[in-house]
Amino acid sequence: MRNGQVTGFVLLLTLLVAAVGAACGSQQASSRAEGKIALLDDSGSLAIVDADGSSKAVIVPTNDAVPVWAPDGSHIAFDDAYELATVKADGSGYAPLLSEGGSSALWTWSGDSDKIAYVGADPHYSWYYHAAIFVVPAAGGKPRMLVDGDSPSWSPDGRTIAFIRGPFIRLINADGTRERRLATDSLTIKDEAYLDLLWSSDSQKIAYTTSFSKDGKEFCRLHIAHPDGRPEVQVIGGGLPGKEFDTQCDIAWSPEGTRTAFTRNGFIYSVNADGTHEHRLARGLEQSWSPDGKHIAYLRKGSIYALDMQSHVEHRLVRGDEFSWWPDGVWSPDGAFLVVQRVIKQRVNGRNGKYVVETMRPDGSDRRVIWPQGGGTCDCGDTPAWQPR
């Protein structure tokens, strides 16, 4: 073999070895859960832990807070003793946001993660409570009243807020201009009590559910509305005997915003946003679509499952219940992992249960207990939420 051939062969071999090494390194990196997870500890305080369990948790004293990450993962908002507050991702910078009369249960992050819209008392109606929507900087500051209304939902692009006033769903620009009505049909009081306005990721559609009765049985109807005025799409949803409306009418958008997953009679279905190509996926409720669109996780008869959307293979992950399953924030940003609260001993007759919080892949592999950090179990870990992005 000539010198040039030898040199070329050595160079090719070196490139192959480097490529194999890079591939292995990539596989090793992807096997590690990244980012932070927020959850509740035994005392009801907010615990912020690394998803790989590598460092000691940061504890923020709160009163049974429900953590919700900002879209960019920079802050966590939570209801603290019926008052809304935020902290930074590292647990620092505690900022109370609501003045007296606010409602910590009804609030929404802006798409740019800089502001929060919440429901408070309209100061123009001092003799009785009249709901109004306010906007406040996420780091703290003076709130600004935007409009009379309830149940605000901010679009992902940050331009529009959907809300309810009276029997109608309405829209308003984030700067308070151009208020208009969205839904063509009026809502009933019962509908309003359970109504979630869910934007698609492209900010072009809003999904919500309403209820109706037929032959003594309660059903829900899935609505997909378009802020640009195009006709609304309606799909008939669930109607389980003896079940409350809000436990059988779950909806979730696909990551790209082209399909929704909804429930009907105890089964999960998917349907295109235009109402076509409906498919039954699995038996279950409270579904959550992974950010990469490859899996849907859900609860069924005391267990948490994940369905592979391509192979349609179902994996039973852990024992769970209505107290331990929280579909919002369950997935890692890349969809490679999810965080769940596994039931060791269920709560019975008001007695505390025993739980652990684990991360794992959708097929149940690569399990890691991240809470409690000292081992054992706890009556804790409620509403675990993974830091986005």
Rounded Cα distance, 205 and 60, in Å: 36
Q: What Rg, from alpha-carbon coordinates, does the chain have?
A: 23
- Global pTM reads 0.85
pLDDT of residue 241: 55
Pure H helices in 159-246: 189-193
Edge-to-edge strand list for the sheet holding 368-371: 338-345, 354-360, 368-371
**Cα–Cα distance, 266 to 73 (Å, whole number):** 33
The burial class, CB within 10 Å (0-12 / 13-18 / 19+), for 242 is exposed
Give, for all 389 residues of the chain, the pLDDT tens digit: 444 444 444 344 444 434 444 444 433 335 678 999 999 888 889 999 999 988 899 999 888 778 999 999 999 999 876 688 999 999 999 998 875 555 556 889 999 999 999 998 888 888 888 889 999 999 989 999 999 999 999 999 999 999 999 888 999 999 999 999 986 666 654 555 457 899 999 999 999 988 777 777 777 888 999 998 888 898 887 666 555 555 667 899 999 999 999 988 889 999 999 999 999 999 998 999 999 999 999 999 889 999 999 999 999 998 876 666 777 889 999 999 999 988 887 666 666 678 899 999 999 999 999 999 988 888 877 789 999 98
For residue 347, what pLDDT is reported? 63
Instruction: Specify the pLDDT at position 14.
Output: 43
Peptide bond into 388 cis (omega under 30): no
Residue 165 vs residues 131, 180, 228: alpha-carbon distances, Å: 9, 11, 19
CB 385 within 8 A of CB 69: yes
**Helix, strand or coil, per DSSP, at residue 111:** coil
**CA quadruple 305, 308, 309, 314: dihedral sign:** negative
The Cα 233–Cα 273 span in angstroms is 8
